[in-house]
Amino acid sequence: MQKRLFIKTYGCQMNVYDSARMTDVMAPLGYMPAVSAEGADLVILNTCHIREKAAEKVFSELGGIRRLKRARERQGGRMLVAVAGCVAQAEGEEIRRRAPFVDIVFGPQAYHRLPEMVTRALADSAGGVLDTSFPAEPKFDYLPERLAAPGTSAFLTVQEGCDKFCTFCVVPYTRGAEYSRPAADVLAEARRLVEAGAREITLLGQNVNAYHGAACASGPNGGEWGLGELIRALAELPGLERIRYTTSHPRDVDDALIAAHRDLPQLMPFLHLPVQSGSDRVLTAMNRRHTAHQYKRTVERLRKARPDLALSSDFIVGYPGESDDDFRATLDLVREIGFAQAFSFKYSVRPGTPAAEAEDQVPEAVKATRLAELQDLLQSQQRAFNQGCVGTVLPVLFEKPGRHPGQLVGRSPYLQAVHADSTPDRIGEIMPVMIHAAAPNSLAGAIIARPTAKEECAA
């Protein structure tokens, strides 16, 4: 009998990828994706623990889910509720205590066992299932080859976990040790995605450029491949028009990756390279293991290889001990580099991480003032970047219908959302778009006719 599965995903793209894989592992058991939790047979919250607010969201969401579960029971049905992801990993016991109606709690490394957990939970109506182990076997080896329809732009996790232990961050604890998938597996999955209609693949990893997977037997270099080599092999896949990767660590940008940016037109000229702070004192305290100067130098080398490279970053303001001068150094770095886009956050205390123990926590009000000032600057850079695109023609990969009828939305090479009037048959195509207008977060334009073969020859 067909059953309904509803997954709500929080946090980073890796959770988006994981949620799609949960759908894949449940499909053979008859679970089909549903658009809402109401009336679903299995509801999964795939959660994020990165900041306090993200983690708290889960508990408020669970209140609503509990009511839906009870309503289902009153109608004589049954709804299993599962909490997955990084909050499950970090606070599994706490979830069981605060929300005992949750049937299954499982961490990011255990979801290949979901069918088994569901079977156990269905058989045992009282106990509940908790699996926050870090299984010895990599889950990737146990996921079905059949993938959910990826759409035009697909995610592909190539690396997971983190050994960097930045002092503010929960990821090394929630995702576990760094692991890179063998290149042959990545290429096989990429091939399947392209066959299923993907035109763009974003390679994912908590530190995707720390990738060091087993090289392909047929590859030119024995042993291991870094991200640069992996991207080079992917660029040979016919039908794969665009390649991106995220998130990178500044320390792991190596020559092979820079060379890939120089040589491969499929590798899009947009890079999310989090710096966190512009102050060396703060960077050292954060255990980032790079200086502001090294970051700038890396950007310089990347821009030399790919002059139109647009940059994005993450920033934390109000890290313990951050002085006004430290914060000014962050503003200076932003002014010097110029970002096309960025995410910035107030430092959030994460229990169990070293920075949580620091005594010189920055007052909330100071964090708020600094965040507002930084965001003003970053937004003005983003507006200027978008405005600079007006009057140019950008190749846009159309992904889906826009908000207005007759409109499609796609992405520029620089990851900007671009709206243009068109028919739905253009979804999945890359079309030249003359940009007419820039909003803070998107562009609007009109598809221009492709040059005819004759015009192209004349050019």
Select from ligand SF4, ligand SAH, ligand F3S, none the partner in contact with residue 347, using the beta carbon and a kind-dependent cut-off of 5 to 8 Å. Answer: ligand SAH
CA proximity to 396, closest of 124, 111, 197, 199: 199
Closest CA to 205 of 178, 239, 232: 178
**441 Cβ contact partners less than 8 Å away, ≥ 6 residues apart:** 382, 417
Q: Which of residues 115-134 bind ligand SAH (CB under 6 A)?
A: none
Number of residues that bind ligand F3S (CB under 6 A): 14
From the list ligand SAH, ligand F3S, ligand SF4, none, pick the one residue 51 interacts with, judged by a Cβ distance below 5 to 8 Å according to partner type.
ligand SAH
Q: Which is nearer to ligand SAH, 210 or 444 (CB)?
A: 210
Query: Using the rule CB under 6 A, is 276 a contact of ligand SAH?
Result: yes
Q: Which residues pair with 408 in a beta bridge?
A: 401, 420
Site string for ligand F3S, 18-57 (x = CB under 6 A): ------------------------------xxx-------
Alpha helices in 99-242 (DSSP H): 114-123, 171-174, 183-195, 227-234
- 350, interface contact from ligand SAH, ligand SF4, ligand F3S, none, CB < 5-8 Å by kind: ligand SAH
Pairing of strands 310-317, 341-346: parallel
| Residue 10 touching ligand SAH (CB under 6 A) | no
**Ranges within 348-377 binding ligand SAH (CB under 6 A):** 348, 350
Site for ligand SF4 in 187-226 (CB under 6 A): 206-207
Residues numbered 219 to 248 that lie near ligand SAH (CB under 6 A) are: 247
Backbone angles phi, psi at 24, to 5 degrees: -60, -45
Q: Is 262 exposed, middle or buried (0-12, 13-18, 19+ CB in 10 A)?
A: middle
Say if CB 326 and CB 279 are below 8 A apart. yes
- 443 binding ligand F3S? (CB under 6 A): no
* CA–CA distance, 300 with 312 (Å, rounded to integer): 14
**Spatial CA neighbour of 21 closest among 36, 37, 5, 35:** 5
CA-to-CA distance for 72 and 68, rounded, in angstroms?
A: 6
What residue has token string 């709500």? 8
CA distance 78 to 89: 25
Least Å from the CB of residue 286 to ligand SF4: 8
Residue 108 CB, nearest distance to ligand F3S (Å)? 7
The answer to whether residue 135 forms part of the interface with ligand SF4 (CB under 6 A) is no
From residue 231 to residue 270, the character string flagging contacts with ligand SF4 as x (rule: CB under 6 A) and all else as - is ------------------x---------------------
Q: Specify the residue for token string 């700038």.
A: 296
Binding site for ligand F3S (CB under 6 A): 11-12, 14-15, 48-50, 85-86, 170-171, 174-175, 206
Binding site for ligand SAH (CB under 6 A): 50-51, 168-169, 171, 206-207, 247, 249, 274, 276, 314, 316, 345, 347-348, 350
